[in-house]
């Protein structure tokens, strides 16, 4: 849609940035913290780039005051961070760890001291390994009770100071990479039946958590963050338009319909029934999902790229357990579901060194789709560019990151003009961090952290990049000056 003049971003818009506990904190065994599934997984040879771990990460655990001070100097309005389950319940359940609770008390208080709104993610992939050892973690329905107990502890401890809560980060990613591609814990491949069962358990954990939060703090704002990749049909052929519809039902609406409506898409369910992989649903589950959906306040969106859907015949390509983790452009492989769709490269868009498409308009499409389909407000909980940043004379010049963020913010502003209710924009990430499988070479932050792949190299000193000062101006002008 075209508007002669922009309304700009609403007053009180939350300009923010984000991180995840395992990727920034370090202190992996400090002060009573238990072992997480990622603490164990990264020690399996060949799983991460150059065997990098989050043992030290960027040492946010010991340097959070320094990091928050930099946030304040930038003028950040909100900081989205996750809590490590293993700091609160080292064994996943049982005895609570007061030292872990205090760390997040101190972090939240430090943010509030500078007027920065804490936005807390309950779960960003780091499950206690003790629960995996005890009953296979997410594969067992018991995980729902343990998760809700953990979340309830957080709400009771921090709910008087935290207004914004995100129950799950990228549920679609940690489950598909964990049970289909074997690239995340527990490292299983092509276990389609368990993939959907695990996903249902996560949905129930999300739903019960929403209900508990709203009972304790009715004014709190809650949602889940979904890794949303809008999809284009490859061309004008009807079979490719249908491939897009199949992709959307199985890869996008399968999650968002549950968050917003409390139900699974009917066509997707019919397909899964034909394959014999529908999840087992207990009596009362659907009612709980629907009740929670009525109390969800926003849809969280982690937006990085769009994709293309093309019809994939029954003998076509499937999913692989490979991805570009080296930053060598052009090494990603086409993947798909035989008989439904495949996702070829989009020749009309540039890509990052990690073969992620760069499509600023996609963030506007996310917002438009969510607004028209769900009528929910939107929190952009992640958006950013991973790149090879270099220090030159003590400075980091990253015009490519500024250009990327500028283009996405311009499209987000158009989404606001379109009538979308966008509450927040959180870049990924604030400081450089461990990029899961990609190690530390793939840098996302406004703040450079001096560390290399070697666990013991680098000073961990913080250096603001050019993008830091650019974003500071964006915040000061509420997005008017880009």
What pLDDT does 140 receive?
Answer: 98
Kindly name the residue from 117, 310, 382, 411 that is annotated as catalytic.
Answer: 382
What pLDDT does 292 receive?
Answer: 98
Q: Other C-beta atoms within 10 Å of 202: how many?
A: 24
pLDDT tens digit sequence for 163-214 = 999 999 999 999 999 999 999 999 999 999 999 999 999 999 999 999 999 9
Annotated active-site residue 382? The verdict is: yes
pLDDT tens digit sequence for 293-347 = 999 999 999 999 999 999 999 989 888 777 888 888 888 889 999 999 999 999 9
pLDDT tens digit sequence for 349-390 = 999 998 999 999 999 999 999 999 999 999 999 999 999 999
Kindly name the residue from 139, 170, 310, 411 that is annotated as catalytic.
Answer: 170
* Cross-strand pairs, 308: 232
Alpha-carbon gap, residue 199 to 47, rounded angstroms: 23
Annotated active-site residue 170? The verdict is: yes
What pLDDT does 436 receive?
Answer: 86
Residue-wise burial string across 140-178, b where 16 or more C-beta atoms lie within 10 A, e elsewhere: bebbbebbbbbbbbbbebbbeebbbbbbbbbbbbbbbbb
Q: Phi/psi at 149 (nearest 5 deg)?
A: -60, -45
Alpha-carbon gap, residue 454 to 430, rounded angstroms: 22
What pLDDT does 322 receive?
Answer: 78
What pLDDT does 318 receive?
Answer: 86
Q: Other C-beta atoms within 10 Å of 274: how many?
A: 9
3-state SS class at 348:
coil
Question: Apex CA 466: angle with CA 460 and CA 472, to 5°?
Answer: 100
Helix (H) or strand (E) holding 260: helix 253-261
Q: pLDDT-based confidence at 89, cuts 50/70/90?
A: very high
The residue ranges of DSSP E strands in 29-128, in sequence order, are: 78-82, 117-123
pLDDT tens digit sequence for 422-467 = 999 999 999 999 998 888 989 999 999 999 876 677 899 999 999 9
Length, in residues, of the chain: 482
Give the strand pairing for 221-227 and 231-233.
Answer: unpaired
Cis ω on the peptide bond leading into residue 481 (within 30° of 0)? no
Lookup result for tokens 């971003």:
9
Return the biggest CA–CA distance within the chain.
64
Instruction: Take residue 105 and report the two structure tokens written for it.
Output: 């008390």
Lookup result for tokens 């519809």:
245
Instruction: Take residue 112 and report the two structure tokens written for it.
Output: 């509030």
The region of weakest confidence among 49-63, 113-127, 317-331, 428-442 is 317-331
């Amino acid at each position: 849609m075209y508007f002669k003049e922009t309304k700009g971003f609403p007053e009180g818009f939350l300009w923010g940035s984000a991180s995840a506990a395992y990727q920034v904190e370090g202190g992996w065994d400090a002060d009573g913290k238990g072992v997480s599934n990622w603490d164990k997984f990264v020690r399996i040879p060949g799983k991460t780039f150059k065997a990098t771990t989050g043992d030290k990460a960027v040492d946010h655990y010991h340097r959070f005051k320094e990091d928050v001070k930099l946030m304040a100097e930038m003028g950040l309005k909100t900081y989205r961070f996750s809590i490590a389950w293993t700091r609160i319940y080292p064994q996943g359940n049982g005895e609570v760890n007061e030292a872990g609770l205090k760390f997040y008390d101190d972090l939240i208080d430090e943010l509030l001291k500078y007027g920065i709104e804490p936005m807390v993610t309950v779960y960003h992939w780091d499950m206690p390994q003790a629960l995996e050892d005890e009953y296979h973690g997410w594969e067992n329905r018991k995980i729902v009770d343990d998760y809700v107990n953990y979340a309830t502890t957080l709400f009771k401890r921090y709910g008087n100071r935290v207004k914004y809560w995100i129950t799950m980060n990228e549920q679609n990613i940690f489950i598909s990479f964990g049970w289909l591609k074997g690239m995340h814990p527990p490292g299983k491949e092509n276990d389609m039946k368990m993939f959907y069962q695990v996903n249902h358990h996560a949905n129930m954990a999300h739903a019960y958590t929403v209900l508990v939060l709203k009972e304790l703090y009715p004014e709190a704002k809650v949602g889940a963050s979904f890794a949303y990749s809008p999809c284009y049909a490859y061309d004008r052929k009807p079979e490719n338009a249908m491939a897009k519809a199949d992709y959307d039902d199985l890869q996008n609406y399968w999650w968002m319909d549950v968050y917003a409506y409390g139900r699974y898409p009917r066509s997707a369910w019919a397909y899964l029934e034909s394959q014999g992989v529908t999840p087992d649903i207990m009596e009362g589950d659907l009612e709980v999902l629907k009740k929670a959906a009525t109390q969800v306040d926003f849809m969280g969106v982690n937006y990085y790229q769009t994709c293309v859907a093309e019809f994939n015949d029954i003998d076509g390509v499937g999913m692989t357990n490979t991805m570009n983790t080296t930053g060598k452009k052009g090494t990603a492989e086409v993947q798909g579901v035989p008989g439904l769709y495949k996702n070829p490269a989009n020749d009309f868009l540039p890509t990052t060194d990690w073969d992620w498409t760069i499509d600023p308009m996609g963030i506007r499409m996310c917002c438009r789709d969510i607004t028209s389909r769900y009528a929910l407000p939107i929190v952009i909980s992640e958006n950013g560019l991973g790149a090879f940043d270099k220090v030159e004379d003590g400075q980091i010049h990253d015009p490519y990151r500024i250009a990327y963020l500028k283009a996405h913010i311009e499209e987000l502003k158009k989404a606001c003009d379109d009538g979308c209710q966008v509450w927040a924009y959180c870049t990924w990430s604030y400081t450089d961090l461990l990029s899961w499988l990609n190690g530390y070479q793939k840098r996302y932050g406004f703040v450079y952290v001096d560390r290399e792949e070697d666990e013991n190299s680098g000073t961990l000193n913080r250096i603001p990049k050019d993008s830091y000062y650019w974003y500071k101006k964006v915040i000061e002008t509420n997005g008017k000056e880009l």
